[in-house]
Structures are given as structure tokens and as C-alpha cells.
Structure 1
Amino acid sequence: MASLAAGIEAATPEGRDRGVDALRALAIAGMVLGHWLVTAWAPGAAGAVHMSSPLAHLPEFTPLSWVFQTLAVFFFVGGYAAARGLRSAAARASGTWVRARMGRLLGPAVPLVLIWAGIAVGMALRGTSVGTIRAMVVPAIGPLWFLTVFAALTAATPLLLRAHPVVTAAVAFAVVLGVDLARFGLGAPAWTGWANLAAGWLVPYALGIAWAGGLLASRRVAVGLLAGGVAGAALLVGGFGYPASMVGVTGDAVSNLSPPSLAAVCFGLAQVGLALLVRAPLARLMRRPRLWAVVALANLSAMTLFLWHQSAATVIAVAALRFGDVPGLLAVPDEPVWLLHRLAWLPVFAAVLALAWLPGSVRGRCNDRVSPSA
């Protein structure tokens, strides 16, 4: 580990903003751990398995969703990195930059789709019920929803750079506000909420572009985003009936995340403010070679980790189907002890995820020069 850390330290350009990389790594870690803790499968009738959530049975664990729902930070850092990368590639056509980025983003998605299509077919041939197949496949390919939005925003970055990013974020926020007002106040059809899928995540992405342009440098701005975001989310949850959980809860009629609600966007603004405040301390912490090595490797494989982490847990669940009720894995998450059982499974999930991560990260990548726009 010491030699690997030393090699990565030597390959890191002096001007690398390690605080930004640490934020991205924390966002990835939050999503991975959050999904591993709240994604559950429970036995049903006739041996079938259905999706469940500990938050549906144990609402006292709802604060976990406030800690581990870090998608806004992911989009915020993504906007920052895209803006810097595109500006550094100014001598090349923007189309070349977009094609290169799409290859990095979408490349890992192809094997994910093919593998889970094969697993689904195999389960069907063995007589597995449609409900069980759906319960296994949907969580595994769930990250594709967010990858699609992230890829669309990345492809639109050359256009977004032509507009004022703060104005773009404000317009996107207004769209979310209008859509939620129509849905919850004027009785518009539920499907209209899906307009928020792009607008909701454009808010932190556009703020990331603003950050890259030096527009969010003031500590006062960061504190304002943090305080305003917290106040807005608290008001919407406490006064307007938005769900307290910042992730979807199986069985709930309304989700803050699918599609993103105004409460989720406000919560994201708070996360953006917090990210701005902690970037500098994180950058100093990343001067420790071993910590930086972990963060650098996580950043080099960010898309792989994001896309495959749900598959790691789901593969274990598929393999355990023959054993019936398995504590912490294939069991109703209706008692606090379930969380302890699930924590015991996390090292197993991590080991399976490493099988997808290590080949592309350690073999042939650990000696690469760390790109300043990665």
C-alpha cells in the first residue's frame, strides 16, 4: 500500500484540486452505503421475493437518508469537473470532448445491461416468478436512471457554458417549484413530476459550473446555500407534507427522489453549501498519501463504482434465493436487529464490488498520471 500510495502521489499534478476529488469520493461512498443499507428484499407468497425498505418499517432510521443521499454533491462536482475539462480543451472541438466524456460515462453501462439481461433470462428459464425477477433486476439497473441524466447534462455542458450558470440554476429551481405546485396543489397528473428529473439535478450541476467559474467563492454564499437549503427542506417536510426521507420508500405514494421533489432540491442546495465549506479542509487532509491514494483510485473508477454497487448486493441476494429467509438479506426489515444483520453483509457486498472495480482500477490504472480534469 505504501508503494502504491507513493506512486499515485508522484503521478498527481501539483495543481490538482484534491478537495474536489475528496467530495466526489464522499458522494460515491454515500450513495453506495446508502443503497446497501436501504435496499431490501423480503419473502412473499408462494416463495416469491419482493422489494422492501427498512424505512417503511423502521421510520426512526430516516435520518440515515439525510446522511447517505449524496446525489446533489455528485452532480455538483460533476458540473465543476465538466466545466473545467471543457475549458481546458478549448483548443479542440467541443464535440470531441463530449464524445470522449460519453465514452467514459456510458462504457461501463453496456456490460451492466448485458449481464443483468442474461441473469433475468436465466432466472426465467429456472421458473422464477416475474415478481422476483423484477425485485432483483430493478435495483441492479437503477443507477442507469441517474447515469442517463448525468450523461445528458454532460452532453449539454457546451451549451450550458454559454448561459449564466446561476441564472440557469435559478430557472431550473423555478421549474421544480412550478411542477410541484402543479402536482400537489393543482391536481396535475403524477407523471408531470418527471420533468423534475432533469430540472432537479440541473440545479446542483449548474452551480458546479458556476463554482468552476469562480462565482461561488464567497464563504457567505456557501453559508447562505447551506442555511437556505436546510430551512427550505425543513419547511416543506414539516409544513407542506413532503416525505421526511430523502430516498424513496417502498409503498409510499410520494418520493422525494423519484422524481426529485422541491424538498430534495432544497436539501441538495444545503449539500452544495456544505461541500463548499468543507472543500478546503478536505484538500489539506488529502495531503496524506494513503488517504489520497484511496480517493484517487475511487475517482478513477467513479462510474464503475456507481453503476455496479447495487449489482454487488443483488448478486448476493440472487445467490441466496435457494436458502429462503436469510437474516439481513432476504428477510422483512421490520426490526432494528435487521440493520445489524445488514451491516454484517456489507463486507461481502464490498468484496463482490471489488471484482468489478479492481481490474479497471489497479491493473493498468494505478501507474497512470492522474488527470487534472478527471
Structure 2
Amino acid sequence: MRDFVRRIESATPADRDRAVDALRALAILGVVLGHWLVTALVADSGTLHGASPLHYLPGLTPVSWLLQTLAVFFLVGGLVGARSHAAARARGEGYGRWLGARMSRLLRPVAVVLAVWAVAACVMLASGVDEDTVRALGKLVWSPLWFIVVFAALTAATPLVARVHPLWPFAVVLLVDLYRFGLAEPGGFAEVNVAAGWLVPYCLGAAWSRGRLRSRRAGWALLLGGAAATAGLVLWAGYPAAMVGVPGGEISNLDPPTLAVVTFGLAQCGAALLLLGPLRRLLRRPALWAAVATVNLSAMTVFLWHQTAMIAVTAIGLTAGGALPGLHTVPDGPGWVLARLAWLPAFAAALLICWLAFRGHEQRRPRNASRIVRGGRPARSAATRRV
């Protein structure tokens, strides 16, 4: 392990902003941990169906404030996308080549998880597993893919949106919500917010790449202003307090994004900017940086397979006979929460197995490219400038 840490440290350029990588790693791990804590598979008469402890235990709502970290990922995505496009133009590289390089690592692991689960669904149906169970499991795996679609679309549009002021997409979200809720038109143009809502932090990231948002004053303004606006929308405008969808709820803050989740995202972006200094100091420690670098090299693999890891542990648990607390039982009490916390190491172990099996589909590069670590040996340092 010491040799592994040393090799990563020696392969990292001195000018790399490690804090940016840490923000992305924290965002991905927040989503993973959030799904593991607020998603349950309940065994009922031989059928598995989804449930959420937020439906039964509204006191757990603050968990969604801590672990719904998508805005931070889009913030970093905007920063990295705008920087990489500017660098490609400086090298005389065309849009098509730049986009192909960005999409390759993003979409290749998606194709793998879709193929594996298509085969798994066919095998389960052929072996007699009921359709409701297969549908519930497939939904857990495939529903988070909306994030990949939106992120890919915003990445492709980087040359167009890199200089768009975040207030423009924010105004779109505001107008759509006024139409949906103020005029009692719950459908309306709600789906517009899927792009506009996440374009707000993405444009903030692009502005960051141009030298904006450098001061702590900007971070505090986003944090305090976003938090105050979110509190006002929840307390006086009727928006849900949970920053994720809750089964049975009349309104979901996330599907599609509402004004509340956008203002909450602004607060998260402000907090992320304020954390940059402490993170840079912490990541001078080679061991911590090695952990962050490893997560970043396999960020999409971790995101795409974390639900599969939970499903695998749940399925194996069924062979023990009877419903296991925190794994197959209704998430309706503190006992379930404590039991679920005890299952997290098992989920992490299953995810590690998935990571070992499928990380190569994300980390693969053309022969003339490289990465931080290849086969336990340091790659050319230029490779670590890729994000």
C-alpha cells in the first residue's frame, strides 16, 4: 500500500488542484451513501418492492440535505468541461475530437451495466422470478441513469453554455415553477427544469474556470443566500423539505428539479468553494490523495454499480431464510435505521467486487494515452492532467 501511495504521489503534477478532485469524489460518495440509506427492498410474499425510510420516518429528512450532492458534481463538471474545451481549442483540437474523448469514459461503462442487467433480467425471468421483482430491481439500477444523460448533454453543450450567466437558467426554473404551482399546472413545462435546473451549477463551474468565484465572499454569498432562499421556499411556499423524491409525496424536489433544489444546490456550491482551502491542506497527505485519486479514476464505475452491490447483498441475504432486519424489512422505525447502518460495510464490500470486475471499462485509454496508475506503476505525469 505504501508503494501504491508513493507511485500515485510521484505521478501527480505539482500544479494539479487536488481539492477539485476531492469535491467530485465527495459528490459521488454522497450519492452512493444516500441511495444506500434511503432506498429499501422489502420482501413481501416472495416479491421484492422498493420503499423509502423517508416515507415512514420524516425525521430523517436532513439526511437528504447532507447526501444529495448532485449540484457539487455539476459544479465541478462545468469547471472541468470549460477548462478542457479551452485547452483543446488552444491545442487546435476540433470539437468532435474533444467531445469524443469526454464521452468515451462517460458512456462506455454505461453500455456495460446496461448489457449486464439486460442479461440478468432475462435470466431472472426465465428462472421464474416474478415480473414485479425484476421491474423493481431494474428500476433501482436504471433510474439513476438520467444523471448520465443530463451530464452528457451539458458536456456536449459546453461551447454554447460556458459563458451563460447562471441567472438565466435560474430564471427559467423560477418561471416554470410559477407556472406549475402558481397557476396550478403540475405538468406544464416541468421537464424544462431537468436541463435548466442542473445548468445553474454547471454554469457556475464554467464561471469558476474563467477566474470568477475565487473569493471567500462569493462562497459565503452562495451558501447563505441559497440556504435562506431554500428555507423560505420550504417554510412559506410549500416546497417539500426533502431534497430527494419521497414515495407517496405530491411533489418531488428532484423529478424534475424545483426552485428549492436549485437554491439548495447554490448553497452546496458555496459550501464547496469554502472547503477548497481546507481540502488542499488535507490532500497534501499522500495517503488521502491516493484515496481521492482512486475514486476519481473510477467515479462512473462506482456510481453505476453501487445499486447492483446493494441488490446483490439483498439477494444473498434472502438465502438465509426469512426477512433480515435492515435488508428486507419495511423501513418504518429506528431499528431499521440501525440495522441498515450495520449493512453498509457489506454493501461496500460488494461494490469493491464490482469495481474490481468492471473498472477497466472506464479506465481504458488509447495506447498513446495514460493514467495515474497502470498495473501498479506510475504513468506519465501528463496523464494526470486529464480529469
1:318 is displaced (CA, Å) by 3.3
CA distance in 1, matches of 2:378, 2:260: 43
1:292 is displaced (CA, Å) by 0.3
* Structure 1: gaps spanning 5 or more residues: none
Which range moves more in the overlay, 125-134 or 65-74?
Answer: 125-134
**8 A contact 1:141–1:311 mirrored in 2:** no
**8 A contact 1:180–1:193 mirrored in 2:** yes
Counterpart in the other structure of 2:11: 11
Paired letter, 1:357:
W
Which whole-Å deviations, capped at 9, do the CAs of 1:43-63 have from their partners, x for residues lacking one? 33x432211001111111111
Asked if 1:207 corresponds to 2:207, the answer is: no
CA distance in 1, matches of 2:376, 2:250: 44
Which whole-Å deviations, capped at 9, do the CAs of 1:284-322 have from their partners, x for residues lacking one? 110000000000111111111111111211222234445
Q: Give the paired residue count.
A: 369
Counterpart in the other structure of 2:384: 371
Asked if 1:351 corresponds to 2:349, the answer is: yes
**8 A contact 1:54–1:334 mirrored in 2:** yes
1:118 is displaced (CA, Å) by 1.5
Counterpart in the other structure of 1:316: 313
The alignment-based identity, stated in percent, is 54
Counterpart in the other structure of 2:63: 64
1:103 is displaced (CA, Å) by 0.6
CA distance in 2, matches of 1:129, 1:26: 37
What is the 5 A alignment of 1:1-374? 1-44=1-44, 46-90=45-89, 91=91, 92-161=93-162, 164-165=163-164, 167=165, 169-190=166-187, 192-321=189-318, 323-358=321-356, 359-360=359-360, 364=375, 367-368=378-379, 369=381, 370-374=383-387
* Aligned partner of residue 190 in structure 1, secondary structure: coil
**8 A contact 1:84–1:373 mirrored in 2:** no
1:212 is displaced (CA, Å) by 0.7
1:191 is displaced (CA, Å) by 6.0
Paired letter, 1:4:
F
**Kindly tell me: are residues 366 and 318 of structure 1, through their superposed partners in 2, closer, same or farther at Cα, counting changes over 3 Å?**
farther
1:172 is displaced (CA, Å) by 0.8
- What is the TM-score of this pair, normalised by structure 2? 0.91
CA distance in 2, matches of 1:83, 1:321: 47
Which range moves more in the overlay, 16-25 or 185-194?
Answer: 185-194
* Aligned partner of residue 284 in structure 2, secondary structure: coil
- What is the TM-score of this pair, normalised by structure 1? 0.94
**8 A contact 2:309–2:348 mirrored in 1:** yes
Which whole-Å deviations, capped at 9, do the CAs of 1:138-157 have from their partners, x for residues lacking one? 11122211010001101111
1:66 is displaced (CA, Å) by 0.5
RMSD: 1.6
CA distance in 1, matches of 2:189, 2:42: 31
Which whole-Å deviations, capped at 9, do the CAs of 1:146-192 have from their partners, x for residues lacking one? 0100011011112223xx33x2x211111111111111111224263
**8 A contact 2:179–2:188 mirrored in 1:** no
**8 A contact 1:51–1:250 mirrored in 2:** no
Which whole-Å deviations, capped at 9, do the CAs of 1:328-364 have from their partners, x for residues lacking one? 1111000111111111211111111112323537763
Which whole-Å deviations, capped at 9, do the CAs of 1:173-225 have from their partners, x for residues lacking one? 11111111111111224263221111111100110000011111122211111
Paired letter, 1:271:
Q
Paired letter, 2:110:
A
CA distance in 1, matches of 2:250, 2:308: 26
**8 A contact 1:243–1:254 mirrored in 2:** yes
CA distance in 2, matches of 1:373, 1:261: 33
**8 A contact 2:140–2:307 mirrored in 1:** yes
